[in-house]
Structure 1
Amino acid sequence: MSSEPWGRVDETGTVYVRTADGERAVGSWQAGSPEEALAYYERKYEGLAVEVGLLERRVRTTDLSAKDAMTAIGHLREQVDDAHAVGDLAALGRRLDDLVATVDARREERKAAKARQAEEARAAKEALVAEAEELAASEQWRSAGERLRGLVDTWKGLPRLDRKTDDDLWHRFSQARSAFSKRRKSHFAALDAQREETRRRKEKLIAEAEALSDSQDWVATAARYRDLMRDWKAAGRAHRDAEEDLWARFRAAQDVFFEARGSAFAERDAEQRDNLARKEQLAAEAEKLLPVTDLRTARSALRSIGERWEAIGHVPRDARAAIEGRMHAVERAVAEAEEAEWRRTNPEARARAAGLTGQLQDAVDRLRDQAERARAAGNTAKAEKLEQELAGRQALLDQALKGLEEFGG
């Protein structure tokens, strides 16, 4: 009889395996020695151990589902329990028990991960719904429409939730998209109607522009064309395919008028340049009157120059300020000479100036006397105060005397 720690072969060739519950016959061996029998059944045990090891590695390193893993464990457990092999079968059973615990833990992890994924998907879909409902009120038709289409693609890429939650969220999402589409359709329908009304308004503006195109009332017609242009801009835009044609007709009518006006203005400009040359001669003649030495002669000459000036007519606008400024300078000089002559010969003004001068002279004399007495009495502070007031009155007196001199006295 041959024996090993996990089994033995009796004298009849029966092979036994030792377990915690006692010995169990696993086969018989008649063809060779007992050692060979034990070696054969130990190799069968090693085969089972390899299968357990392979399943352990498969569970730990692949995404084998819990259901498939438990099925494989059960199949191996049956083989171990009924194994015709010699070895530590209990150890294999414990390894299978540990593997069951691993699969259970993996199942719980996957369950928790699935719950997290579902919660993330729910939160993501709620965020999509909230954004879609916000976009439903937008009037940025192009960008909001593109964003809503992007939200649909994002929604399709998210996992499904439980049917009720998923259906409720999709209903809100779909309602938001429908509300936006309805508002956008209504907006563009109103826009189309508005553009058609714009087209009709612009047709009327074109008709008036064409009726004015042969007018020779340059100022009034040009002003009316400016009004028409303002009305054109205020009218908005018609449909794109009509807007360019409408504008071309409107501009063509204006071009006829403004080209005719340009020709007329060219003739006018030539006349005004000639007027400018004549007025420059008159301005030079007027400037020779300065400085005014003989007021009567200067006044008479300036009147004659002014009459000829008014008879000449307009000059170019860009030269008007300069040429008129030259004449105005001469007119101001003559006017100032007249004003000076009037002041010099006006007896009432001279009397007022003389009276004011006398009053100021009396005040200066009185303050000087008071200051001298205060200083003589040793009252320096009072003397300085009176002298300051005296200085102010003296300045006014000097100014009054200068004005009195202008009256010749």
Structure 2
Amino acid sequence: MTTDPWGRVDDDGTVYVRTSEGERVVGSWQAGAPEEALTFFRRKYDALVTEVELLEKRLRTTDLAAGQALASVDKLRATVREANAVGDLDALSRRLDALAERAEERRVEQKHAQEQARTEARDIKERIVAEAERVAEETTHWKSGGERMRELVEEWKAAPRADRATEQTLWKRMSTARNAFSKRRKAYFAGLDEQRGQVRAEKERIVAEAEAIADSTDWGPTASRYRELMQQWKNSGRTDRTSEDRLWARFKGAQDRFFEARNAVFAERDAELRVNAEAKEKILEEARAELLPVRDPREARARLRDYQERWEAAGALPRDARDRLEGAFRKIEDAVRKAEEDEWQRTNPEARARAEATVTQLRDSISQLETRLEKARTAGDARKTGELEEALTARRSWLEEAEKALEEMS
């Protein structure tokens, strides 16, 4: 009989392995020496050791799933338990037990990581859905809103997956938000189409009236009506671009036809009125030379009446000279009127009485302040002295102005 620490070969060629549970037969050897039998069955044991070592390395150096690792451990356990090999099978079983413990730890870690990942995925998709709902409820910028909705769908697809129930609930909210946005957008544009139809009808009416009066020769009222029609056009809003451009071209064409005709008539009329402008230029020069500056308001008023009569008699002015000449003549009238007002103020008894009273009051006040100042200086009251000196300075300045005003009234 040939023996080994972990097995033996009986005289009849039966091969045994020793385990903690006792000996068991692993095979029979009839073809050669017993030592060769033990060597053969030891190699089978070494192959099992290699499998266990490979599993240990995979569990240690890779992200092998815990479930897969446990399945491999269970499979190797069964193999070791029934192995036809000679070696320390109990040691292999203990190594597999240790592997099972590490795999269970990994199962807990992977479960925690999976739960954390699902939580993060839920948070990401909650944010995506919340923004989609906000866009669906609040936005009125339909183009950018639609683009953002598409981006959110892509973000959803790229985001990690949460648990099935959460995915279904959140996707239902996402779909509801997208549908709500589409309905709001469709309703808006349907309303916009209706509104544009109303605007188009209003502008058709405006254009029809503009074309109807385009050949009018009632220049003033018609020009005013065109201004009113233009304001109505602006206030009516905008229709679709094609209709807007077409109607505006018609409106502008009618308006241009009227104003071109009016301008032609006015240009001819202005040419006839040039002689009036020349006459009023002379009247203006004479009035300036005689009346300005105003020395005697009464005489200036009398002479101004003559110039005003001549001015009216000279007739209408051409448009390009009207504002300039009329404005210059009004300045002469204003100068005469102001001179009359100044003269009245100067000679007004009530104004003079008020001016005299003001002068008297200021003189009395200055006298009282001078007395108080002298007492303060004598008492050595620096603060009071400073206050009274400031008050005296101010009132003397007021008195000087009041005396000038009173002198001008004399």
TM-score normalized with structure 2 length: 0.74
Correspondences of 1:5-404 after superposition (within 5 Å): 5-62=5-62, 64-140=64-140, 141-157=142-158, 159=161, 161-163=163-165, 165-270=166-271, 274-289=275-290, 302-312=304-314, 313-314=316-317, 316-320=321-325, 323-324=328-329, 327-328=332-333, 331=336, 335=340, 339=343, 381=375, 402=407
Deviation readout 1:138-163 (Å, 9 max, x if unpaired): 25133333333333444445536344
Q: CA deviation at 1:18?
A: 2.9
**C-alpha RMSD of the superposition:** 4.5
Deviates more, 1:45-54 or 1:140-149: 140-149
Q: CA deviation at 1:260?
A: 1.7
Cα distance change of structure 1 residues 322 and 49 upon mapping to structure 2, 3 Å threshold: same
Q: Contact 2:270/2:317 (CA < 8 Å) preserved in 1?
A: no
Q: Contact 1:353/1:403 (CA < 8 Å) preserved in 2?
A: no
Deviation readout 1:213-261 (Å, 9 max, x if unpaired): 1123333222221211111121112233322111111111111112122
Q: Contact 2:297/2:340 (CA < 8 Å) preserved in 1?
A: no
Deviates more, 1:198-207 or 1:278-287: 278-287
Deviates more, 1:106-115 or 1:154-163: 154-163
CA distance in 2 between partners of 1:34 and 1:394 (Å): 146
Q: Contact 1:237/1:243 (CA < 8 Å) preserved in 2?
A: yes
Q: Contact 2:301/2:336 (CA < 8 Å) preserved in 1?
A: no
CA distance in 2 between partners of 1:360 and 1:204 (Å): 70
Q: CA deviation at 1:292?
A: 6.9
CA distance in 2 between partners of 1:12 and 1:2 (Å): 11
Q: CA deviation at 1:207?
A: 1.0
CA distance in 1 between partners of 2:193 and 2:28 (Å): 98
Structure 2 SS opposite 1:228: helix
Deviation readout 1:110-142 (Å, 9 max, x if unpaired): 333333333334444444443343333225133
Structure 2 SS opposite 1:137: helix
Q: CA deviation at 1:60?
A: 4.1
Cα distance change of structure 1 residues 30 and 327 upon mapping to structure 2, 3 Å threshold: same
CA distance in 2 between partners of 1:121 and 1:296 (Å): 97
Structure 1 SS opposite 2:211: helix
Cα distance change of structure 1 residues 282 and 70 upon mapping to structure 2, 3 Å threshold: same
Q: Contact 1:286/1:330 (CA < 8 Å) preserved in 2?
A: no
CA distance in 2 between partners of 1:256 and 1:51 (Å): 102
Cα distance change of structure 1 residues 58 and 381 upon mapping to structure 2, 3 Å threshold: closer
Letter of the 1:101 partner, please give it: E
Deviates more, 1:53-62 or 1:89-98: 53-62
Cα distance change of structure 1 residues 272 and 9 upon mapping to structure 2, 3 Å threshold: farther
Structure 2 SS opposite 1:220: helix
Q: Contact 1:17/1:25 (CA < 8 Å) preserved in 2?
A: yes
Structure 2 SS opposite 1:238: coil
Cα distance change of structure 1 residues 403 and 128 upon mapping to structure 2, 3 Å threshold: closer
CA distance in 1 between partners of 2:302 and 2:75 (Å): 138
**Structure label with greater radius of gyration:** 1
Cα distance change of structure 1 residues 185 and 36 upon mapping to structure 2, 3 Å threshold: same
Unaligned runs of 5+ in 2: 379-387
CA distance in 1 between partners of 2:35 and 2:181 (Å): 86
Structure 2 SS opposite 1:136: helix
Q: Contact 1:70/1:100 (CA < 8 Å) preserved in 2?
A: yes
Cα distance change of structure 1 residues 62 and 272 upon mapping to structure 2, 3 Å threshold: farther
Cα distance change of structure 1 residues 272 and 159 upon mapping to structure 2, 3 Å threshold: farther
